[in-house]
Structure formats: structure tokens, C-alpha cells
């Protein structure tokens, strides 16, 4: 495990992560910090907890949309694989009957 410090809205947070996850967690923290800063700029009169909550909801919405998109792609992949398998079975059947 490795100790890393991330910064979100100017506050540092120490984390323990696997060595292999260090860069990933830093990229995630940077993304979250950027999103929080964007919302803070837009909602400058709101308390940090409101800004962070709304930004977290936006990030969660992005995650859910990506999951839905991935699910749709997996379904398309499955459909294509079924079509390929059916075509191969037909082709093998044609070759076998010759």
C-alpha cells in the first residue's frame, strides 16, 4: 500500500492505495476536484455541502449514463455475435452437405 494525498476544493485528503492504483486515484481526484470547482463557480453563493452534493449527483448521473451505454453496447455485441454464429452454422451446414 502506498500513501498518497489528493486535494479537493483546496482540502488535502490522505489515502492508502495499492501501488498500481496511484495514478488512477489521482486522475479520479482531479476529475472530482474539477467538477466541484465548476459547480462552486456556478453556485458561488451556496454552501460547500450543497455544491459538493450537486456535483456528486452530476458525477453519479454520468456514471449511470455510461453504465447504460455499456449495457446497450454489450447487448449489441451479443446480437452481432449471435448473427455471426448463425451465419457460421449456415456456412458449415452448406459445406457439410456438399
Query: How confident is the model at residue 61, as a pLDDT?
Result: 97
Phi first, then psi, for residue 22 (nearest 5°) are -55, -50
Tell me what the pLDDT averaged over the chain comes to: 93
Beta carbons of 94 and 87 less than 8 angstroms apart: no
Beta carbons of 40 and 51 less than 8 angstroms apart: yes
pLDDT tens, residue by residue, 16-27: 999 999 999 999
Q: What's the CA gap between 53 and 96, in Å, rounded?
A: 63
98 pLDDT more than 70: no
- CA-wise closest residue to 52 among 70, 38, 72, 67: 38
pLDDT tens, residue by residue, 74-84: 999 889 998 89
Taking residues 7-14, report their average pLDDT: 94
Residue boundaries of the structural domains of the chain: 2-97
Amino acid at each position: 500500500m502506498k500513501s498518497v494525498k489528493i486535494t479537493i476544493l483546496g482540502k488535502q485528503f490522505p489515502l492508502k492505495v495499492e501501488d498500481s492504483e496511484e495514478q488512477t486515484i489521482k486522475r479520479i481526484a482531479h476529475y472530482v476536484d474539477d467538477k466541484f470547482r465548476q459547480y462552486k463557480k456556478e453556485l458561488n453563493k451556496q454552501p460547500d455541502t450543497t455544491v459538493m452534493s450537486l456535483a456528486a449527483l452530476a458525477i453519479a448521473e454520468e456514471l449511470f449514463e455510461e453504465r447504460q451505454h455499456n449495457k446497450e453496447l454489450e447487448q449489441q455485441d451479443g446480437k452481432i455475435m449471435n448473427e455471426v454464429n448463425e451465419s457460421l452454422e449456415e456456412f458449415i451446414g452448406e459445406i457439410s452437405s456438399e
